[in-house]
Structure 1
Amino acid sequence: MGSEGDVVLRKPRFLCLHGFRTNGEILKTQVHKWPQSVLAKLDLVYLNAPFPAQGKSEVEGIFDPPYYEWFQFNKEFTEYTNFDECLAYIEDFMVKHGPFDGFLGFSQGAMLSAALPGLQEKGVALTKVPKIKYLIIIGGAKLKSPSVAEKAYFAPIHCPSLHFLGEADFLKQYGQELLESCFDPVVIHHPKGHTIPRLDEKSLQMMTSFIERIQMMISTKEQSACFTRADPSP
C-alpha cells in the first residue's frame, strides 16, 4: 500500500437516532449547530423512530411535530415495550439504505446507539448488516433492562467512540457509567444540560481529530481490502 498521503479519505457514514418524542428533522436541526467544517466530514442519515409519541413531547412549542419514540419503558426504565420491534425496524432500514459505518445518537437514540454494538456481537440484533465500527454519543446512558443490559454490555464496547457529557445534564452520572463500558472513549465535556452543544475551540479540535482518525481507519482498511482482492497470488 502507498504512503498515508496516497489514502483516499471518504466520509464516515452515520445513521442518526434522535431523542425521545422528537424526530429526525429535529435532530438534524440540532446537529447543524456544529460548524460546516465538521459537518462536511460526515455523511449523516436521519431516521424517524418507529412509534408515534404516546405522550407529551418536551419539545412541543419549540419544534414542530410529528414526534416519535424508539420504544416505551416503565417509570424505573427497567422494562421495555416494543424493543425487539425497534431493533428490527433499524435493521430493516440499514439493509435497505446501508451500509453504515456507525451510529450518532442523542438521548434515547444515544442509549440505543451505545447498546447496539454489543447486541450485534451477541447475535441478537443487526445480524444482516456489517459490523458497527464507530459511535458518536450525545447525552447517553446505559439501558437498564436486565435482559438487554446483560447482552449489550457483556464486554467492553471496542468501537472508537466520541461522547458528549454536559455538566448540567440530568443524565451526566449515567453517561459517565456508560464510559466505563467503553474501550478508550474520547470525551467532550461541555457546560450545558441535556442538549446537543455548540462546539468551542477545544471541543471542535477534539471532534475534528476523532473524525479524521476514523476517516483514516476506514479508508486504510478499504484500500487494503481493495489491494487484497486485486492480488493475483494464490
Structure 2
Amino acid sequence: MTARTVVLLRHGRTSYNASMRLQGQVDIPLDEVGRWQAAQGAAALVTSHRATRIVSSDLGRAADTAAAYAELVGVPVETDPRLRERSFGRWEGLTADEIAERWPDEHAEWRRGGEPRGVGAETKVEVAERTAGAVREHAEGLEGDECLVVVSHGAAISLAITGLLELDATAWRGISGMHNVHWSHLHRSAPGAVPGWRLVAHNVGAGYPLDRWQAGPHADLEPEPKSA
C-alpha cells in the first residue's frame, strides 16, 4: 500500500532568507521570525492534515520546522538527507548581485532556467530524482488512508513535485516557488493512472497576508479570516 496523501512543507525563515542569500545546503538555523512561522504554520496545517509519518531534511531549519508540527500530532520526526535543498556549490551564501558580478554568464543562464555549469551545483534532474525518490519510498511504508508530511526546502520541493508528476525537470518550470512554512498537497492517483500523483494544492499557508507573515511575531496582527 501507499499513502494517499503527501504534504510537502517548506521550512521557516532564516537570516539568509531575510537577506536574500542563496542557502543551498548551508546548515543555517531558523531566525526569530522563522520559529514563529513554524509554530503558526504547524497550528494551521494540523487542522487539515494530521500526519501518520513525518520525514524531514536533516538540515536544522527543516528539522526544527518539522518538530513544531510533530509536537502537535504526537509523531516523531525522521530525517533523510535526500530531502536536503539543492546544492549550489560555490554560490551558496551569496546574494544574486554577488553571483552576477562574479559569474555573469552562468548567472544569466540560471535566470533563464538553465543550469549553472562549472560552480559545483546539482542539476535539476539530480535533485528531482533524489527528492521524488525519497518521497515515494517513505509513502510506500504507509497504508492507503494515512498521511505523510515531508519537510524540505523551496527548490527541493518544486523539483520533487516535478518528479512526482513525471515532468521534465530540465525544461519544465510550471511550479512557482513556495513561501516559508507553506505547503503543497499531493494525492495518489488510481492504480495504473499516469502520472502516479496529482497536485491538489500548492503554496498554502496559515492565512496571513505575505507582508504580515514576513513581519513576524512582533507585528501584533491576527491572520485575516479565510473566506468560506
Q: TM-score, normalised by structure 1?
A: 0.37
Q: Which has the higher contact order (CA 8 A, sep 6+)?
A: 2
